[in-house]
C-alpha cells in the first residue's frame, strides 16, 4: 500500500521533471507508475491537486533530509550554520527541476512551499536549540526565540542570497558570525574556527 | 468623497470644453498619460476592487465604474489595460510604503529608533493592507511569486537602496547596505509567517527583537573581533562625506538635514 503510494509520487516527480507541473496529468502519473487511474485516485482522493501538493512536500522534505545529513556531524554551532547554508544554497542552485519550475511556473510551487515553511522553520529551530545551549547563549536571550529567529534568517538567506555570495566560504563565515549569531550567543572564542 | 468626485468631474468637463474650442491644440492623447489626474483615482479604485474580489476577478470595467470614469478613459491612462493598471497599483503602493517609512525613519534620532520604527511601520502597513490581505488569503501565488528566490533578490536590492541612506549617520555605506538588507529580510519573514510570540506591529516586541538580535549584530560587523565595545552613535565626520547619498532621498522631503547633530553628539 505504502509502496504503491511512494511509487506514484516518484513517478509523478519524474513527469514533473520532464514536462513541468502544469502539463502533468493523473493519466501521466498512472502510466509512469504502471498503475490504473483508479489506483491513483484511491491513494490521492483529491486527484491531481493533492498529488502535486504531496509531490512538492515529498521533495521539500527530501531536501531538508539531505540538509540534515550534511550538518548533523558538525561539532560547533558556527560549523552547523556554515555547512547548512552553503549546502542549501548549492543544492537550490543545482536543483534542475526546482530551477526550471521557478523560471516557468513558480505559482505551482510557492503556496505549498510557504505553508510548509512553518513546519520547516520549527524543525530548523528545534535542531539548532541544543547547539545554542551547548555554545552558550548571550545574557537575556531566550533559546526558543533565538532558534526561531535563526531559522527565519537561514531560510531567508538560503532562498535569496541578495548581496551575499554564498559560494564563497569566507562570506558565509562572515554572515554567520555577524548577522546570524552575534546577538544570539556569547562572545567569540579567539582562534577557534571550525575549518 | 462624493464632493471630491464631483469636483474632479468638473475638471474633466472643463478639459473637454477646452479641447472642443481649440481642436488643433488638443493634448497629445497617444502619449501614455503618467500625470493624468485620473491615474491615482484609477489606482485607488483598483485597490478597492482587489480588496473585495482579488486581481483575477477585477476587470477594467469594475475599475472604471469604481472611479466613475469610462472604459475609454482607463485605456487612455493605461494603454496596456489591466496588466499596466496592476503594475501601476504595485508601483504606487510601493512608493506609498517607502514614503511613509521615510517620514517615520527620517524623524528618528537614535539608530535603535530608526530600526524599530521602520520595522513596525513596514510590518503594520504590509500586514494590514486590505488588497494585499485579500490576495494572500485568496490568490497567494500572485503575491508569493514576488517574494521568492530571484524576485525576492530584486525586492531586497530595491528596499536596501531605499533604507541604507537612513542608516549612514551611524555606519559606513557598505555596512548600511548590509544592515538595510538584513532589516528587510526580518520584515519580510515576519510578514509572510507571523507568529503571536513576536508580533512586530507591537513597538515593544520590535524593540526587543532589535535590541536582542540586530544591534549586537551591527556592533559585531563594526568591530569583527569584538576587541572593544562599539558605541552606536552618529559618525559626525563621515556624515558630511556621505551627504551626497542622503540627498538621493530628498524628494521625499522627510530626511532631517544632515546638520541636525553637532560635533558634541559624538563621544
Average of per-residue pLDDT across B75-90: 94
Residue with the bigger pLDDT between A82 and B143: it is A82
With CB atoms and an 8 Å threshold, state whether A110 touches B142. no
Q: What confidence tens digit (pLDDT) does each residue in B20-66 have?
A: 333 333 444 444 545 678 899 999 999 999 999 999 999 999 999 99
Q: What confidence tens digit (pLDDT) does each residue in A118-132 have?
A: 889 999 999 999 999
* Chain A: residues touching B (Cβ < 8 Å): 92, 102, 106-108, 110-111, 113-114, 117-118, 121, 138, 140-141, 145-146, 148-149, 152-153, 155-157, 159-163, 174, 177-180, 182-184, 187-188, 190
- Cα–Cα separations (whole angstroms), residue A133 to A39, A128, A185: 49, 9, 9
Q: Which value, to the nearest 10 degrees, does the dihedral of the CA atoms of residues A159, A163, A168, A169 take?
A: -70
> Measuring CA to CA, which residue among A175, A151, A150 is closest to residue A162?
A175
Cβ-contact B112, B120 below 8 angstroms: no
Interface check for B188 against chain A (CB to CB < 8 A): the answer is: yes
CATH number 1.10.3470.10 is the correct assignment for the domain at A1-45: no
d(CA B227, CA A188) in angstroms, rounded, equals 10
The DSSP output letter for A176 is I
Looking at residue A143, what is its pLDDT?
94
**Which of B149, B177, B215 is nearest residue A159 as measured by Cβ atoms?**
B149
- The segment(s) of chain A belonging to CATH 1.10.357 are 49-180
The class (CATH top level) of A49-180 is: mainly alpha
- Measured between CA atoms, the residue of chain B closest to residue A89 is B149
- The segment(s) of chain A belonging to CATH 1.10.10.60 are 1-45
- The answer to whether ipTM exceeds 0.85 is yes
Residue with the bigger pLDDT between A116 and B259: it is A116
Looking at residue B224, what is its pLDDT?
56
Collapsing DSSP to helix, strand or coil, B96 comes out as helix
Cell of B125: 502597513
pTM score, whole prediction = 0.79
Average of per-residue pLDDT across B66-87: 95
Looking at residue B261, what is its pLDDT?
40
Cβ-contact B141, A22 below 8 angstroms: no
Cell of B149: 528566490
With CB atoms and an 8 Å threshold, state whether B213 touches A183. yes
- How far is the alpha carbon of A126 from chain B, nearest alpha carbon, in Å? 16
- How far is the alpha carbon of A55 from chain B, nearest alpha carbon, in Å? 18
Spell out the domains of chain B, with CATH numbers in brackets: 29-89 (1.10.10.60), 108-265 (no CATH)
Burial of B128 (0-12, 13-18, 19+ CB in 10 A): exposed
- Measured between CA atoms, the residue of chain B closest to residue A99 is B149
Cell of A156: 531567508
Amino acid at each position: 500500500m505504502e509502496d504503491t503510494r511512494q511509487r506514484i509520487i516518484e513517478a509523478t516527480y519524474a513527469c514533473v521533471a520532464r514536462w513541468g507541473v502544469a502539463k502533468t496529468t493523473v493519466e501521466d502519473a498512472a502510466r509512469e507508475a504502471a498503475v490504473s487511474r483508479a489506483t491513483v485516485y484511491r491513494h490521492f482522493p483529491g486527484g491531481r491537486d493533492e498529488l502535486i501538493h504531496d509531490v512538492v512536500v515529498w521533495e521539500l522534505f527530501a531536501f531538508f533530509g539531505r540538509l540534515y545529513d550534511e550538518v548533523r556531524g558538525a561539532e560547533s554551532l558556527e560549523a552547523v550554520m556554515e555547512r547548512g547554508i552553503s549546502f542549501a544554497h548549492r543544492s537550490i542552485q543545482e536543483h534542475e527541476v526546482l530551477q526550471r519550475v521557478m523560471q516557468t511556473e513558480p505559482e505551482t510551487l510557492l503556496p505549498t512551499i510557504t505553508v510548509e515553511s512553518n513546519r520547516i522553520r520549527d524543525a530548523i529551530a528545534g535542531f539548532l536549540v541544543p547547539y545554542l545551549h551547548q555554545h552558550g547563549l548571550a545574557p537575556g536571550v531566550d533559546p526558543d526565540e533565538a532558534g526561531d529567529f535563526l531559522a527565519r534568517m537561514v531560510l531567508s538567506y538560503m532562498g535569496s542570497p541578495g548581496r551575499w555570495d554564498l559560494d564563497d566560504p569566507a562570506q558565509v563565515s562572515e554572515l554567520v558570525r555577524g548577522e546570524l549569531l552575534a546577538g544570539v550567543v556569547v562572545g567569540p572564542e579567539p582562534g577557534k574556527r571550525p575549518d | 468623497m462624493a464632493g471630491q468626485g464631483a469636483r474632479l468631474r468638473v475638471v474633466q468637463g472643463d478639459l473637454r470644453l477646452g479641447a472642443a474650442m481649440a481642436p488643433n491644440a488638443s493634448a497629445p492623447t497617444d502619449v501614455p498619460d503618467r500625470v493624468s489626474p485620473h491615474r491615482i483615482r484609477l489606482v485607488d479604485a483598483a485597490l478597492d476592487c482587489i480588496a473585495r474580489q482579488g486581481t483575477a476577478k477585477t476587470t477594467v470595467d469594475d475599475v472604471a465604474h469604481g472611479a466613475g470614469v469610462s472604459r475609454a478613459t482607463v485605456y487612455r491612462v493605461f494603454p496596456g489595460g489591466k496588466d499596466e493598471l496592476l503594475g501601476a497599483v504595485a508601483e504606487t503602493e510601493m512608493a506609498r510604503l517607502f514614503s511613509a517609512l521615510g517620514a517615520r525613519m527620517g524623524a528618528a534620532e537614535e539608530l535603535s529608533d530608526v530600526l524599530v520604527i521602520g520595522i513596525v511601520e513596514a510590518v503594520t502597513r504590509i500586514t494590514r493592507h486590505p488588497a494585499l490581505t485579500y490576495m494572500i488569503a485568496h490568490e497567494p501565488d500572485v503575491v508569493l511569486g514576488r517574494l521568492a528566490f530571484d524576485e525576492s533578490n530584486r525586492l531586497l536590492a530595491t528596499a536596501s537602496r531605499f533604507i541604507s541612506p537612513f542608516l549612514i549617520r551611524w555606519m559606513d555605506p557598505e555596512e548600511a547596505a548590509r544592515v538595510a538588507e538584513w532589516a528587510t529580510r526580518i520584515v519580510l519573514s515576519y510578514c509572510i509567517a507571523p507568529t503571536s510570540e513576536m508580533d512586530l506591529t507591537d513597538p515593544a516586541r520590535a524593540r526587543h527583537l532589535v535590541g536582542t538580535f540586530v544591534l549586537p549584530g551591527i556592533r559585531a560587523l563594526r568591530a569583527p573581533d569584538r576587541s572593544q565595545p562599539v558605541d552606536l552613535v552618529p559618525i559626525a565626520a563621515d556624515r558630511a562625506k556621505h551627504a551626497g547619498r542622503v540627498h538621493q532621498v530628498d524628494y521625499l522631503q522627510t530626511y532631517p538635514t544632515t546638520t541636525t547633530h553637532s560635533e558634541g553628539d559624538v563621544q
